[in-house]
Amino acid sequence: MILAGDVGGTKVHLALYDFTNGKLAPTRSKQYPAKEYTGLEEIVREFLGTEKATAACFGVPGPVRDGRLRLTNLPWTLDSRELSASLAIEHVFLINDLQANGYGVAELSADQIYTLNEGDPRQMGNRALIAAGTGLGEGFLVWNGRSHDPFPSEGGHVDFAPRTEDEIDLLRFLRQKYNGRISFERVVSGQGLTNVYEFLREVRGVEEPAWLAERLAEEHDPNAVITELALAAKSEICEKTMDMFVSAYGAEAGNLALKILSVGGLYVGGGIAPRILEKLKDGTFMKAFTDKGRMSQLLVNMPVRIILESGTAVLGAAAYAEARAAEISGISPRAASIKI
């Protein structure tokens, strides 16, 4: 049995997998509120109960060094060796969450992906992965001539690069709000959606109706309200917020695609994209993605695909755990499950 996990600042998603004819087959999964636990070990023990896992992999937010990571949004330090010993799991791996998403892409079926731009699907080469959720994750899948090898990145923390007068003023607003440097994550993420909304209200003077202010104050997740009203075209300020957000998202996706020459395609993952799929279809994202001057045609020819499956990182972590454990032990549950 393979244990896989996606560790975030707000929740931890765990799942157990077996294999059926070479395919990952989930047997059980559950999400846990991260801040209600003292650490990952406590969550895993509760999830497993009396069940045993032969290998485990956890996708984690941030750079993993020598199997160790200190989380920024939780007071946890994770060490693969300590987890292996304490949980009695022989093989435990920690990888970056976008790297886990990259491994998960290969496990997805056609109905778990939406093609936003067909591009030229005959092109073979590197692929890019960008994922806005609680934060902004970026990664790349390097084409080695046979398959794509996922690599992590902290590209979401690069400097925000404004392109319009509105974005220039947004940068000024955020520099004042955060007292210094602004990364793309401050604009393209869950917190970014709120930041853009506040900018439009406080700097551009877009009206916030009293009923909307009351609803935002009452709701636990204001971003869900902004998204709902924007997609339903029931609030001018929410629609403008979504326009700016999606345009900035497309622009940074295009920046990433150029940097790694992702002629094999760009994948848009994370929790936000599936929820705003209809907005992504209206051309705002692709206009910003392809607006790269002399390089525009290169971007036009790149396939752009939206990942609809929310558990892609967990799938990828499971695939990684099995492959690495098989490499070390010489025993592959995936290969053994294939019926000849």
pLDDT value for 340: 65
pLDDT value for 172: 98
Mean pLDDT of 163-180: 97
Percentage of the chain lying above the pLDDT 90 cut: 85
Mean pLDDT of 250-278: 97
Mean pLDDT of 4-29: 90
Please report the domains of the chain, with CATH numbers, ordered by start residue.
2-104+311-336 (3.30.420.40), 111-308 (3.40.367.20)
pLDDT value for 335: 81
Higher-scoring residue by pLDDT: 239, 123: 239
What confidence tier does 76 reach under pLDDT thresholds 50, 70, 90? very high
What confidence tier does 73 reach under pLDDT thresholds 50, 70, 90? confident
pLDDT of 207 strictly over 80: yes
Mean pLDDT, the chain, rounded, equals 94
Mean pLDDT of 272-282: 97
pTM score above 0.75: yes
What confidence tier does 93 reach under pLDDT thresholds 50, 70, 90? very high
Which of 96-100, 273-277, 328-332 is predicted with the least confidence, judged by mean pLDDT?
328-332
Mean pLDDT of 14-43: 92
pLDDT tens digits, 213-235: 999 999 888 999 999 999 999 99
Three-state SS sequence of the chain: CEEEEEECCCEEEEEEEEEECCEEEEEEEEEEEHHHCCCHHHHHHHHHCCCCCCEEEEEECCCCECCEEECCCCCCEEEHHHHHHHHCCCEEEEEEHHHHHHHHHCCCCHHHEEEEECCCCCCCCCEEEEEECCCEEEEEEEECCCCEEEEEECHHHCECCCCCHHHHHHHHHHHHHHCCCCEHHHCCCHHHHHHHHHHHHHCCCCCCCHHHHHHHHHCCCHHHHHHHHHHCCCCHHHHHHHHHHHHHHHHHHHHHHHHHCCCCCEEEECCHHHHCHHHHCCCHHHHHHHCCHHHHHHHHCCCEEEECCCCHHHHHHHHHHHHHHHHHHCCCHHHHCCCC
pLDDT tens digits, 117-135: 999 988 999 999 999 998 8
Mean pLDDT of 90-114: 94
Mean pLDDT of 170-189: 97
